[in-house]
Structure 1
């Protein structure tokens, strides 16, 4: 297979539309959750409720991923994505100006968030249609970098909007971004029919297809290979703030981690041929874990930043799995398959942060980070049979 280039990817109008609307979505959501957290804290003075408000937008991924994902294949993708942006805009305006009590604000975010995995799945499933072959893998790489960049930009912009216009103004800004994204999607994407058909109720069909996907050993292995190394990474990153003890120092290390991820995605996506990219999946998954073990030596901020950047460059291991995943799932349930992939990843990262956080209470943050790194190495070794491409496994005389 011939490798694609970034120029070829961005030459496709539909991808430019998906890319721009995705950046608006991620940046807007970062502003929304920050503004909602500040608004709840201003009203209640409760740090716990403020933290709950910040996380409320991500919790529905568990429920939506389990019960609603079949909608991503049963409905036209453009209509789903536009609906998602309209729901976000209306939700933000209600949060900003409806004068809802705190419990109603949190309930509104949770209920509307149940459909977020469906909207994400529709977008992800359209990408192979827009970018065939290796261009799809490169497109995923570009969106991964855009996601990290948009989160950072969204948080920075959110802080500025909060200072100037307060939480309500920041929420209104997110509503405006969502409205712009809806117009961009509606005007820029052509109509595509639904990928699948409704053979049962949405919940029943979602459960049935999830079981079908997880029962397929090859698909299950690729899902686990995408989830488990990132569970260990999330656990390690969750301990950076308590390890350094200062928000400013932790910010430097986490920014270095984001930079390492972007550099790895760019280098592997741009300069590695498709076959090499797949052969690199296993060593890069190991690289994702090894540097965190170095925190057992108690590095200062500078070395901690270097270790974090080197480790997160290994996240590009996922690029070598993308083509195989698309080819392994039936086209009529591709939306649900991508939704299951992202929902499991979100859930796993939350679980990893919680588990390593609990461990950090017992043995200290630095030791917990090192344990997370060691666990990541063991996970990569256990998944070697999936991470290594079939041709490489068949050529190994030890197998």
Structure 2
């Protein structure tokens, strides 16, 4: 007699339980927030992501501060951002295609090892003549991160499935992001002032090494495959052309994915345009750098609040309603924040923006993972990351230009109008039926 694997028996039991509960009039089963953490491989993935993100954000303030300390140049300091954003624009498509053709786990381990070794080169920077090495290191590190992200994001559904554990996983990742953004950047700035640059570099390299070691403990999964008949992979450009054709065919069959890519890029462009204005607006209108720090903390708090909100809604609300609602609330928050003259108004607006933005980003990620075939999920994620990088760069240029030509408040109005139009596109073109809340492992 054939014995079914434990995972299949568990999935069957879960489907039976769900059917019984639906029959009793309960449309959605009870799901713990930490459901995904029951899966060992996801616990390891979540740990690697958290620890490497912490190390990266410790340097978000420290690297520009170190460059400015060495050179005294705003231009030299600003080039650190260019070094981080250019690799996703250039390499994301290639990294996504690679993630769909090889062992994603091995790709992540290789990227972490490359980041750990490269970051240590920052220890050689001692005077202004060495600043070029910082740009080189940041570019290589960002390139490795560009390889890591589509592999990690497309690997997650393979580990937890496309059901309720996926929304749990993305909510946990959003909580981690919010916590790290809230604590690590100011902590890194304080440690830089107290300990100096080398210890932070050593910590960052160590986090990447720990991440790689934890990934080695995860289960090696089969390489992503299509449902089509297997054929030998052609070499060189022929393989790339085939991958592009496969991606185009998948996108033609998934209009919701095309819409998600569009609305995500538009939202991030509008958000970047105002992010570039937040510091000068806070200094000139709200009272100074200390007030800017408080507003950023409020944004971080809102981002944290968005994680449980997403967890509660993403398996129940139709994507069209959830994403359009989050974008509409964000648009209102933009206008409120950049018309505020005091922290009394600015802080609640920042919390609202953080919560609604977090909800939008996490729900978009979950919907995209569910709607995209696994065989092209790496490339689809790469398209998302390419749009993110392009929108961030263009938004960072457009926001200050609009503020200078008009005013910061009118720049916020333009960004809010763009976000509202994006909400309309989401409402009209995304699915208007609630997703089926499948348990982890259900098919």
1:179 corresponding residue in structure 2: 209
Q: 1:297 to 1:179 in 2, by over 3 A?
A: closer
1:228 corresponding residue in structure 2: 266
Contact 1:64–1:115 (CA under 8 A) maintained in structure 2: no
Deviation at 1:330, TM superposition (A): 2.3
Greater C-alpha Rg: 2
Q: 1:179 to 1:273 in 2, by over 3 A?
A: closer
Alignment of 1:272-287 (within 5 A): 272=313, 274-276=315-317, 278=319, 279-287=321-329
Q: 1:330 to 1:41 in 2, by over 3 A?
A: same
CA distance in 1 between partners of 2:103 and 2:52 (Å): 19
2:353 corresponding residue in structure 1: 311
104-113 or 4-13: bigger deviation: 104-113
Cα distance per residue 1:160-204 (max 9 Å; x no partner) = 3313332122111111111111112212x1112321485443765
Q: 1:281 to 1:112 in 2, by over 3 A?
A: closer
Alignment of 1:167-246 (within 5 A): 167-187=197-217, 189-196=218-225, 198-201=233-236, 204=241, 208=245, 211-212=248-249, 215=252, 217-245=255-283, 246=288
CA distance in 2 between partners of 1:359 and 1:255 (Å): 26
2:11 corresponding residue in structure 1: none
CA distance in 1 between partners of 2:30 and 2:98 (Å): 33
Tell whether 2:201 aligns with 1:164.
Answer: no
Give the structure-1-normalised TM-score: 0.88
222-231 or 383-392: bigger deviation: 383-392
Give the structure-2-normalised TM-score: 0.80
350-359 or 287-296: bigger deviation: 287-296
SS of residue in 1 equivalent to 2:85: coil
Tell whether 2:399 aligns with 1:356.
Answer: yes
289-298 or 121-130: bigger deviation: 289-298
CA distance in 1 between partners of 2:289 and 2:356 (Å): 25
2:152 corresponding residue in structure 1: 123
2:44 corresponding residue in structure 1: 17
Cα distance per residue 1:60-80 (max 9 Å; x no partner) = 111111333211122212211
**Structural RMSD (CA):** 2.7
Match of 2:83 among 52, 56, 62: 56
Deviation at 1:16, TM superposition (A): 1.4
CA distance in 1 between partners of 2:250 and 2:266 (Å): 17
CA distance in 2 between partners of 1:240 and 1:308 (Å): 11
Q: 1:313 to 1:386 in 2, by over 3 A?
A: farther
Deviation at 1:235, TM superposition (A): 2.1
SS of residue in 2 equivalent to 1:275: coil
Q: 1:3 to 1:343 in 2, by over 3 A?
A: farther
1:395 corresponding residue in structure 2: none
Deviation at 1:318, TM superposition (A): 4.2
CA distance in 1 between partners of 2:244 and 2:76 (Å): 32
Unmatched 5+ residue regions in structure 2?
A: 1-27, 226-231, 436-443
Tell whether 2:84 aligns with 1:84.
Answer: no
Tell whether 2:374 aligns with 1:336.
Answer: no
Deviation at 1:218, TM superposition (A): 3.2
2:419 corresponding residue in structure 1: 376
SS of residue in 1 equivalent to 2:115: helix
Aligned length, in residue pairs: 390
Match of 2:138 among 94, 109, 122: 109
Deviation at 1:333, TM superposition (A): 1.6
